[in-house]
Structures are given as structure tokens and as C-alpha cells.
Structure 1
Amino acid sequence: MKYCINIIAVIFLLNAGLVNAQKKAIKKGNKEIEGYSYIDAQEQYLKLADEGFKSEDLFKGLGDSYYFTADYINASKWYGELYQFMELNDTPDYLYRYAQSLKSAEQYKLSNKIMIEYRSAAGIPDPKENNEEKMKEIVYNSGRYEIRPVSFNSSLSDFAPAFNGNKLTFASNRIVGSKPDKIHNWNEQPFLDLYSVIMEGAYSGTVPEKIDDKLNTQYHESTAVYTKDLNTIYFTRNNYTKGDYKSDNSGTNRLKLYRGIKNEKEKWDIIELPFNSNEYSVAHPALSVDEKTLYFASDMPGGFGLSDLYKVDITNDGFGTPINLGDNFNTEQRDTFPFISSDNMLYYASEGLTGLGGLDIFVADLNQNTAFDGIVNVGKPINSPKDDFGFIIHGISRKGFFSSNRDGGKGFDDIYGLTELKQLQRICTQSVIGIIRDKNTNQIISGAKVILLSDANEVLAEDISDDNGAFKLGEIDCERTYTARATKNGYSIAEKIFTSTAELALELDLTLNMSPIITGPSVAIGTDLTTLLNLENINFDYDKSFIRPDAAAILQRVVNYMNEYPTVKIDVRSHTDSRGRDSYNQKLSQRRNKATREWLINKGGISSTRLSGQGYGESRLVNECSNGVPCGDEKHERNRRSEFIVVSK
């Protein structure tokens, strides 16, 4: 017994030691995460995961270590483990990161599900944009660019291209010569510097050169923009001014914007911009077309998301006060890397708008004072399931560059050249709303079923009119023909055939007037349903007898009436005007009559025993427009008619 007790004690001590070791490893990994040493943290966590250890901190740490180094495939794996391990309503940021990572893994349906959970947990209202419609727009605008990697990409990171006369300036942490003195803890790679390369040699193996040492320091420099005369540069650098490396209250070194102006000796005089801060980052500069406004990204207090787009006036005395571009452009996530082309289009990267995964590139027309609906995803192949950012383009040549960490590249981030093959287009849509009224009294009618039909008679949408008689039928394509049809017991069918225009985002407001229906028992033999149901004339193409979509919509109302009163029988009578030979008109009306009855039987499901009919040609004119009598088109049209005469009830 004493032996067994000793064995149990040893096992207990071993287990306790293992648990303590695991706790120490988690604590160490968490500390690495807090210090942004993601690769070191990863190593700690993976050892525990390989041992079968599971915990909230482990899965969060592993997910974060991959997410913040842009390895979204592995991030989705570990966030997925976290999602299965525990409820995340109290930590909604992890739901967001999981949803974003899933997009990069092209699991869009699951990503959308998790994103809905995130918004619910975070108390964020539904997005301004319809995800399904925006995905259609991405498909619609894909294929507009031809891309290819530049030849100077390295095995590390090359990104944030900027036009510099006939050169291209970009950020890189490539290793040139001996091993670098400093390594960044975040990804255990060298710090970034600015390089330049002749654009003509971008695809032919030209070797880039590190730019002026006064611009580059031992820490990060990236994302530059030059004035047109090339005498001024704005660029991003770590909070490192005059040899002084500063951190915020949590020990994090932030990013700042700097301006360099060439002096008489063609050397750069560099100053820090006045709206920088030790407590938040200001980065990624862009210039307006007139070079009087500087755009940038920042996580300064008062923004909408993790980083927002801002603008600030450049004055003779310095700079104005930064202005947030507002929630038309900014989301609750990262909005960053702005660029303004010479035709005044704002390109930027966002992970808060509907995209393909990670950061996607979007464009807005600043000439139009663009609101949210004017911001468009540029589509594939520019955007991918990974991070795509740093887009620049010449307004005239439509050639440019962008950066991406997509699969198939040479390094962690790579630069790609681009040529725009065709201009961006918005999917033109309009929305349909309306109201139902009594035709006789103008009173509103609630509870009416309203359907929207395509020109092929397909049901596209439906709604029930509310207490105010109002209905909504959603979005329709521009420059197409539709039918809105309302039905309700006790009323005749009301419908309106309309054609949408080419005006983007127009709201079409329809009024459908319904008449109280005359019930079957009170209908006299000889009643014409054309008059009873207020039917429009059934039109045929010239010299044709097939049933057109607009005619089918009218015949459907006859079917509805006959279904409501199943004992009613009708005689279909088809007439022509007097123009043309009498014998020809007789045959034409007979063909049209046959086509009408066949549609009622085959499409409408009406028994043939309830239908009779024939064509009368021009033998039963309703006015004086007989052969040889001069009449206008309007008078002739009265004779081209179809009648649906009740012969039994």
C-alpha cells in the first residue's frame, strides 16, 4: 500500500510539474505576443500544441501569431480551434479575426456566418452594404487588369511602390551584403529601408539601390510619396527623430510621418510633421492632385476603426488640422495605404469592406464627392485571398504597381506591375418601392401580395403591402423591363409594366390601383372580361401570332379570374383592323386566337372544355374605319382587340 501511495505521489508530482511547465510556456508565449515577437511566441505555443495541450490562451496566441504576420491560412486553423473550444461572445475581436482569416482561405460562406456573429457580439449594426450584391460587383469588375511580378522582388518583403520621376521608390527589408545589425522582433526580419529602381528596368533584372542615407535609418522607413517636381518627399518612419527612439506608454514604438525638402546642395532637410504623436501611429502618405492636401492613415483617437484615412491641408505656414474622412470611407477595421491618381481617384486598402480576404484594394471617385455606395472593389486579379495594398497608377498611361503577399510570390510581400485594360464600371441597379390604392376611392390597401416579374415572366421578388399600403421589391437591373403585379381577394389584379432607366441607384416609386372585383354570380352572360378586369390590349408583333411577355402578363389575369370562379366558361374572340386583305386578316386573327387559347390551356392550366373561340378578322369593327376609310393609328388600334366573353357561369 505504501508503495502504491508513493507511486501515486510521484505521478501527481510529475503531472503538477508538467502543468507548471505548460503554464510557464503559455506565460512566456503571451509575453512574446505582448512585445510583438510573434515568431518567438509561435515556437512556444506550437511545442505545447504538439503535446496535445489545449487552452484559451494557447489557441488565441497561436491564432494571433499567424494573423499578425499575415499567415491567414494557419490563423484560420487555430482560430477555428478556439471557436470550437469556447464561446467568443465576450471577445468578439477573435470572431472578426476568424472571419477575416476564413476569407483568405476562400471559405466565404463560413466567414459570412462568423462575421454575423461578430457584429451581434460587438453590438455593431448591420453593414451599409449588401455582402451578396458586393460579391457580385467584385465578379463584375474582375479581369480589368493585367499583372506580372517585377524582377527585383527579394526573398523578404518588397512593397509600397511610389512614383519618383522615371524611378520607382519602394520599401524593402532585403538583405544586401553582410548580415544586418538589427532584427525586428515582430517577424525576426531586418528593418525596412527605402529603395529605388529605374522603372524601365522593373522587369529586366535591374538592381535597386538604397536611397539617400539621410532618409534611411537603422529602423523602419516605408511608404513614400513625392511632389511632381521631386523636390519634396513625405514618408513613414518609426518614431525615431535625431537619434531619439521613443515609445508610447505601453512600450510600443509608433510610426510617424516625415517630410524631406531638397536644399541648395540637393540634400534632404527632414522634419517631423506636427500632428504626429508618441501615443499613436501616423503613416502611409498620399498627395492630392494639386498637392495642397496630404492624405494618410492613422489610429489616432476618435476614429472609426483600427486605422482610418485622414486628410490635412498643406499651408504656407505648415499644416492644418487633420480631418477624418468619415464613415463613408472608414470602417471599424483597417483602412490604409491611400493613393490619389492624377485623375483624382482615391485608391486605398481596407479589410472592413466586402472583399476576397485580408486587405483588398478599393477605389472612390473624389470628383463626385463620393459617398459609401461609390466605393468599389477593383476585383481580381489585383485582389486575392491574401493582403493586397499599396496600389499606384498613372492617370494617363493606366500603368502602375501594387504589392501583395499572395501565394506564388518570391518573398513575404512582392511588388507586381499592372496595366488597366478597361475602365471600372458600377453594376447599375435601381430599387422598387410603391403603394397599393383602391382605384375607385384612392384609399390604401393593406395585405395585398405584390410580385415582381422579369421580362421572361419569372418571379424575382415579392412582398405584402403594409398598413400604409406600402411595399418594397428590392433591387433591379438598369434598362430592363419588369412587371409589378398586386393581388388580393375581392379585388381585380393590378399591374404595371415599367422599364428601368440607366440612372444609378434611382428609387422607382410605383402606384398600383386595384378595383373591387365583381364576383362570379353577379357577372352576366355576355360580359367581356377585358372590361371587367380592366385589361390592357393584348399586343402581337407585326404579322406574328406568338404570345409576348407583356401579353402573357395580361392573360395571367384571365387565368386568375377563371381559377377563382371555376364554373365560368369564356369565348375568346380575336379581331384585326381593316388594313390589309380581308382574307389575310381573317387567317391572322385565327392564328392569334389559337395561340391565345393554347397559352391559357398550356401555360395557365385552364381546361379546354371551358374555352371556345375564333378569329373574326376585320368583320366586327367597332368604328367607321373600314376598307378605304382614312383613319389614324389610334382609331385603327381600337379594332385590334381581344375579347373574353363570359358564355357560362
Structure 2
Amino acid sequence: MRNKIITVCTAAVMLVMTASCGADKNMKKGEKFLAIGEYYEAAIQFKKAYGKTPPKERDKRGQRAAKLARCYDRMNSHQKAIAAYRNVIRYKQDTPETHAALARLLLKNGNYKEAAREFQTVLDTLKGNRLAENGLESALTAQRKKEEGSRYIVRKMDVFNSRRADFSPMFYGDEYDRLYFTSTRNEAEGDELSGITGTKNGDIFYSEKDDKGKWGKPQTIESGLNTEFDEGACCFTPDQREMYLTQCTSDPAYPRYATIVTSNRTDAAWSKATKLDITRDTLSSYAHPAISPDGEWLYFTSDMPGGKGGLDIWRVRITGAGLGGVENLGEPVNTAGDEMFPTFRPNGDLYFSSNGHPGMGGLDIFIASPDKKTGKFVLEHPGYPLNSQGDDFGMTFEGPHNRGFFSSNRGDGRGWDHIYSFEKPEIIQTVKGWVYEMEGYELPAAQVYMVGNDGTNLKLSVKGDGSFTQVVNPGTDYIMLATCKGFLNHKEEISIRQTDESEEHVLQFPLASIRVPVLIDNIFYDFDKYTLKPESATALDELVKLLEENPNVTIELSAHCDYRGSEAYNKKLSQKRAETVVEYLIAHGIAKDRLTPVGYGKEKPKTIRKKLTEAYPWLKEGDVLTEDFIKQLDKDKQEMCNQLNRRTEFIVLRTTYGMFDEKGNLKNPPKPAKEENKHDEDEIFDIFIE
């Protein structure tokens, strides 16, 4: 019997030693995965080690529970993380950081009373700890904020969501009819599962809206943009020709650092991503890019040195020569916690997510609006249901309207993020303008200057389709001037009245080329005469306005006939018609020496430009409507060509009229260079005055 007892005891000791040895191996493997940020793989090893650790080894069980809790926390496995942190406390291996982490998770889980107790435990030890104070405030006020609610309407968008994580939506397209977002769904590139999440690495997907306003099934991007690594959280430049996104490569022996990469859109496809070097720091993460509405700043998230703690929001200037100096946004935006996922509403408001400010749970969305007097940000918490007890982040706006999409893991026990729609009903008035060439296409290289009697002084960029949209204020008068190199300016004025519902005001900015003849449409003469018909006044008044807006321009005003009739008669008739138009312009205040009337008769038949081929598809760009060309066509097409030849045009001769005095000196010489980076308001006003 004694021998049997000894044998049994020896076996038990051997079993304990074997288990202990196995647990140590699991811990070593787990530490390796943890060092490179692969929390899912690390959690598997730590869980095995914890299970092999005898209950009587309380210190080790508590320490291993702490490792496991950290991994579950980073994986958004809230319930498992809470249980693991409670084990750390049960085995008396807790620190103030343990209670702070548990408090944040309880807050995220909606257990506000328990969260408050844990935050108070932290403050009993670390008096004055700002994060704990803000956390305690969140726990004490979150339920009240939820009950108060807000005017936001939030809906889950099943059409975009999968059984995995879907987040960071971003609108694309002039009509906001395409939505890009990140997803770890099974259709993502690569065959391996992420060591961080246990799912596929994230890829960029997109969905398109049809003519009926219905969103389609998400699709993969068929280009070199997505890889076997993580891609996500994208944004676009104002001209929508370049995408900025986050990429996270993996290396079995190296920590995972997120980087920002760029992709260009050519031939309707996105190119392979290229790394963007923001600084020379290779040991910090750079993620969640956002481009400011004016296209001059790149905002991003980073843990680089010099921040307020955790992850901060930074920005760097975008210049023609590359990126400028890096700036930390500082307070009140950044805290000792994490500030992430910056994005902009077109009105300039910065939206971001934070777990460092008092909120309702995990990451809460905050609005940072620049104060008009000081320029400093003023923070606003938009309340429930835009924010919840979970993580809320990654917003995108449908133009100037306070509606769009965002991400949240609210109500998902596994911690997966999903895409939701949001809308806050409000009255918004906008001006939508279109800048294009007369007889031509849109001018995306144009600039629009906007001045209002409320102090508005803006320079607006034009999109790829030649359009721009700007929110305007009721009771304000605006002057808007469209300019583009190689074209004359065009000015529009508009008064915005108070309304009871949202309204869009549409303005047209047709710019006249200074290089090619410009047709003056809707000029009518009596048959076989040079007398102007009354209905010509509208078009001629527009020409008067154009010349007033461009006072340094002189033009040749030409009239043309078709090939029928004698050459001498056509020449005389067209000259008289040109002179009649010039007389009208002079009578309406345009200086005579700015106008040169010329009648060409049939000498200069019309040359077809590309835009005209859309109305006359049987014509080609570059066709010249000579007599021989026309006579080869069908009878009905011949008459159309004759109508095109019978036209009144102008071409710019000079752009320096009145700019020099009698001695040849500039009357208004350029002003001295102003301070670098100073907002040049006078320059904008000068454009309207000159």
C-alpha cells in the first residue's frame, strides 16, 4: 500500500511538472505573438497556459489571466476580457491599470454602476488621474444622455454588412452614389487568417447605388489595391483622383506598424498602393487618413512621440513639393486616451472618435468646430443614438447634408463592427455651381471665389465634373466669381432668403475661352437684313455683363453667313450685322475702342468642336463646314450646317486694355509679398474690384 501511495504521488508530481512545463512553452509562444501584435494567436497560447496552471499557483494564474485579458481587450471580445480581468483581481495580481481597463470594458458593456465603482477604485489610488475622472463622469452621465436622446436617426445597413467586421465607410462620386468601406469578410484577399483577429485581413470593398436609389451588393476592387495584408479606413482628395488608406503588413519577427499609403485612379481603376512617408519615424503607426475640405491638409492618427498620450490626431500640410511639417492638434481634441478616425464634414467641422473624453462607452464620436473668432476648436458630443455604449466611429457625409454612414459595434457580442446610416434633420441651404467652357466641357481646374456680406470669404475648389457645392447662410448676399487659366472670368450674384425647408440654388458659370472663337448664341436678325430682333437682347446683355466683368479685354466681334448668295453681298451683310451688335454694346456702356466689328461673309466656315458632335453625331471634331463638305450631305443635314455657319462670334484680342498709363507703366502694380501662410483676403476682393 505504501509503495502504491508513493507511486501515485510520484505520478501526480510528474503530471504537475509536465503541465507546468507545457504552460511555460505556451507562455513563451504567447509572448512572441503578443510582441508582434497578433492578439488572437497570443490569446490561444495564454488560454492554454492558464488552463494548465494549477489553481493553487494563484500568482501565476493571476499573471496569466492579465495577459489573456489584454489580448481579449484588444480583440474587442468584451465579455471574455471582463471575465479575465476579474480573475486577475480574484488572484490579487491587480494594479490600478487592471481596474481602469476593467472599468472601460464595463462602461463599454453598459454596466455603468459597476464601471463607476471601478473608476473610483482607480481614483482612490491615482488621485487626479484625468482619464479615470472622465471615465467616472461617463459612467455617471451615460444613462441620462441615452434617455435625453437627440434628433439623430440611426439605422443598421444590412446591405453593406457581413458576418465579420465592416467599418469606415466613405462616399465617392459627384452624386455620392458609391460607398467604399473596409471588411474582413471571407471574400477578402489571401487565404490565411489574421493573427490579430482570427478573421481574414481587411480589404477595401465598395457598393454602388442604382438609378432608383438602392444600394447594390458589395464588390471587391479588381486592381492591385488590395493585398493579402490589411487595407482599410480610406479617404479621397477633393478631386477624387487619389485615395489615401491605411495598410498594415505583417512580419513573423517584427511588430505590426500601420502605415498610410496612396492609390491613384486611372482608367476607372485604382492603382497599386504606394507608401506615404510622413516622417522618418519607422517605429510609430500612421493610420486613419482624412483630407481637409480644401485639400491642403492630411489629418491622421498616430502614436508617435510628442503626443498627449495613447493615439493622437495629427496633421501635415500637403504642398506641390510634398508634405510639410507635422503638427499635433493638441487640446481640446487630444487627450491621454485614444483619439482616432478623423473625418470632415464639407463645412469644415472635424469629426473624430475618442475614449479619453467623457462619453457613453467605448469610442464616442465628437464634433470639433473651429471658433470664428479664435480659430480654436470647440467640442460637442452629439449624444445618443449616434453614440452608444459601444465603439462609434468612421463617419462619411452625403455632401453638405448631416446624413451619411458610420461604424459601430453596438449590440454585437463578438465585437464585430457594422455600418449604420445616420441623419439629423435640419434646414440647409446650398449653392451648387457648374463651371464649364462655352461650347465645351467642364473645367475642373477652375477656382471659385465667394464673398458674402456676412464676412464670408472663401476660395472653393471645383470637382472633376466642374461642379462645387457650398452651404450658404439665410439673409446673406453673395458674389461668386469663377476663374480659370485661359478663360475669361464669370460673376454671379445671389441673395439667400430665409426658408422653412432645405433648398439648393443652382448657378451656371460658362467661361469664354481666350484662345478660340466663342459663339454668341440666340442672336436674331430680320431676314436678309442687319436689324436685330428684340429677342436678341438677352444674349447681348449677357455679353455686356461678360465685358464688364473682364474690363481689360478687347474683342473682335464677327458675323458670318452661309455659302449661298454672292460673296460681295454676304460680306457687306455680315459687316453690317457685326456693326449693329457693336452699336448695341456701345449703347450699353462698353467702350468703343474695346470692340472691333468684322464681317467675314462666307470666308470662315465653322470648324466643329467636340462638344457639338454630341448634338450632331454625324459630324466629327475638326470638320470644316465648307461648301464642298456641305453639298456631300443629305438635304436636311445641309440646312443644319448652313444654320451653324450663320453665326455671330467673338474672339479675345487683348487682355491688357487699360492696364498701362501713357508712359507704359502699370496703373496698378502688384502689391508687396505678404507674410507666408497669411490668409490673403485682399487678393480675393481685388479679383472682384479689378
Normalised TM-score (structure 1): 0.57
Q: 2:164 aligns with which of 148, 156, 161?
A: 156
Q: Deviations for 1:342-380, whole angstroms, at most 9, x for unmatched residues?
A: 1221111111122222212111212456768x3232222
- 2:178–2:206 CA contact under 8 A, matched in 1: yes
TM-fit CA distance, 1:110: 2.4
Alignment match, 1:256: 259
Alignment match, 1:495: none
- 1:150–1:202 CA contact under 8 A, matched in 2: no
- Mapped partners of 2:20, 2:228: distance in 1: 42
Alignment match, 2:25: 24
Alignment match, 1:497: none
Kindly provide the amino acid, as one letter, of the partner of residue 319 in structure 2.
T
- 2:190–2:228 CA contact under 8 A, matched in 1: no
Alignment match, 1:279: 283
Q: 1:344 aligns with which of 345, 348, 363?
A: 348
**Which aligned pairs between 1:158-237 and structure 2 lie closer than 5 A?**
158-165=166-173, 166-176=177-187, 180-199=190-209, 204=214, 206-237=216-247
Q: Deviations for 1:44-74, whole angstroms, at most 9, x for unmatched residues?
A: 4445656774512321122122211112122
Kindly provide the amino acid, as one letter, of the partner of residue 299 in structure 1.
D
Pairing 1:379–2:389 present? no
Go from structure 1 to structure 2 and tell me whether the alpha carbon gap of 1:7 and 1:191 turns closer, same or farther (over 3 Å shift): closer
Q: Deviations for 1:129-174, whole angstroms, at most 9, x for unmatched residues?
A: 6544677556545452232324131111211101111211111122
Alignment match, 1:597: none
Go from structure 1 to structure 2 and tell me whether the alpha carbon gap of 1:93 and 1:236 turns closer, same or farther (over 3 Å shift): same
Classify the secondary structure of the residue corresponding to 1:21. Answer: helix
Pairing 1:145–2:153 present? yes
TM-fit CA distance, 1:405: 1.8
In the alignment, structure 1 segments of 5+ residues that lack a partner are: 240-244, 424-649
Go from structure 1 to structure 2 and tell me whether the alpha carbon gap of 1:21 and 1:214 turns closer, same or farther (over 3 Å shift): closer
- Mapped partners of 1:359, 1:316: distance in 2: 35
Alignment match, 1:356: 360
Classify the secondary structure of the residue corresponding to 2:65. Answer: helix
Go from structure 1 to structure 2 and tell me whether the alpha carbon gap of 1:199 and 1:139 turns closer, same or farther (over 3 Å shift): farther
- 1:350–1:361 CA contact under 8 A, matched in 2: yes
Go from structure 1 to structure 2 and tell me whether the alpha carbon gap of 1:216 and 1:401 turns closer, same or farther (over 3 Å shift): same
TM-fit CA distance, 1:322: 1.2
Alignment match, 1:520: none
Go from structure 1 to structure 2 and tell me whether the alpha carbon gap of 1:331 and 1:264 turns closer, same or farther (over 3 Å shift): same
Q: Deviations for 1:298-340, whole angstroms, at most 9, x for unmatched residues?
A: 1111111221001111112111111111131112221100111
- 1:119–1:126 CA contact under 8 A, matched in 2: no
- 1:263–1:269 CA contact under 8 A, matched in 2: no
Go from structure 1 to structure 2 and tell me whether the alpha carbon gap of 1:346 and 1:141 turns closer, same or farther (over 3 Å shift): farther
Go from structure 1 to structure 2 and tell me whether the alpha carbon gap of 1:415 and 1:407 turns closer, same or farther (over 3 Å shift): same
- 1:73–1:104 CA contact under 8 A, matched in 2: no
- Mapped partners of 1:68, 1:203: distance in 2: 38
- Mapped partners of 1:351, 1:73: distance in 2: 19
Kindly provide the amino acid, as one letter, of the partner of residue 238 in structure 1.
C
Q: Deviations for 1:223-244, whole angstroms, at most 9, x for unmatched residues?
A: 11112321122111125xxxxx
Kindly provide the amino acid, as one letter, of the partner of residue 169 in structure 1.
Y
Go from structure 1 to structure 2 and tell me whether the alpha carbon gap of 1:391 and 1:2 turns closer, same or farther (over 3 Å shift): same
Pairing 1:406–2:410 present? yes
Classify the secondary structure of the residue corresponding to 2:72. Answer: helix
- 2:23–2:50 CA contact under 8 A, matched in 1: no
- 1:46–1:62 CA contact under 8 A, matched in 2: yes
- Mapped partners of 2:304, 2:394: distance in 1: 21
Classify the secondary structure of the residue corresponding to 2:16. Answer: helix
- Mapped partners of 1:398, 1:38: distance in 2: 37
Pairing 1:77–2:77 present? no
- Mapped partners of 2:148, 2:375: distance in 1: 20
Give the stretch that moved more between structures: 69-78 or 400-409. 400-409
Kindly provide the amino acid, as one letter, of the partner of residue 238 in structure 2.
K
Classify the secondary structure of the residue corresponding to 1:110. Answer: helix
Alignment match, 2:298: 294
Classify the secondary structure of the residue corresponding to 1:40. Answer: helix
- 1:145–1:420 CA contact under 8 A, matched in 2: yes
- Mapped partners of 1:182, 1:323: distance in 2: 38
Go from structure 1 to structure 2 and tell me whether the alpha carbon gap of 1:202 and 1:405 turns closer, same or farther (over 3 Å shift): farther
- 1:363–1:375 CA contact under 8 A, matched in 2: yes
Kindly provide the amino acid, as one letter, of the partner of residue 93 in structure 1.
E
Classify the secondary structure of the residue corresponding to 2:325. Answer: coil
RMSD: 3.3
- Mapped partners of 1:246, 1:317: distance in 2: 32
Kindly provide the amino acid, as one letter, of the partner of residue 67 in structure 2.
G
Identity, % of aligned positions? 27
Kindly provide the amino acid, as one letter, of the partner of residue 144 in structure 1.
Y
Kindly provide the amino acid, as one letter, of the partner of residue 194 in structure 1.
I
Alignment match, 2:325: 321
Classify the secondary structure of the residue corresponding to 1:113. Answer: helix
Go from structure 1 to structure 2 and tell me whether the alpha carbon gap of 1:106 and 1:47 turns closer, same or farther (over 3 Å shift): same
Alignment match, 2:336: 332
- Mapped partners of 1:409, 1:97: distance in 2: 18
**Which aligned pairs between 1:531-610 and structure 2 lie closer than 5 A?**
none
- Mapped partners of 1:407, 1:197: distance in 2: 24
TM-fit CA distance, 1:265: 8.6
- Mapped partners of 1:213, 1:69: distance in 2: 30
- Mapped partners of 2:412, 2:267: distance in 1: 45
Kindly provide the amino acid, as one letter, of the partner of residue 257 in structure 1.
I
TM-fit CA distance, 1:183: 2.3
Classify the secondary structure of the residue corresponding to 2:330. Answer: coil
Pairing 1:39–2:40 present? yes
Go from structure 1 to structure 2 and tell me whether the alpha carbon gap of 1:205 and 1:72 turns closer, same or farther (over 3 Å shift): same
Normalised TM-score (structure 2): 0.54
TM-fit CA distance, 1:279: 0.9
- 2:77–2:414 CA contact under 8 A, matched in 1: no
Go from structure 1 to structure 2 and tell me whether the alpha carbon gap of 1:111 and 1:195 turns closer, same or farther (over 3 Å shift): same
- 2:286–2:301 CA contact under 8 A, matched in 1: yes
Q: How many residues align?
A: 413
TM-fit CA distance, 1:395: 5.2
- 1:356–1:385 CA contact under 8 A, matched in 2: yes
- 1:161–1:169 CA contact under 8 A, matched in 2: yes
Go from structure 1 to structure 2 and tell me whether the alpha carbon gap of 1:392 and 1:201 turns closer, same or farther (over 3 Å shift): farther
Alignment match, 1:644: none
- Mapped partners of 1:115, 1:202: distance in 2: 51
Classify the secondary structure of the residue corresponding to 2:84. Answer: helix
- 1:155–1:410 CA contact under 8 A, matched in 2: no
- 2:208–2:215 CA contact under 8 A, matched in 1: no
- Mapped partners of 2:220, 2:426: distance in 1: 35
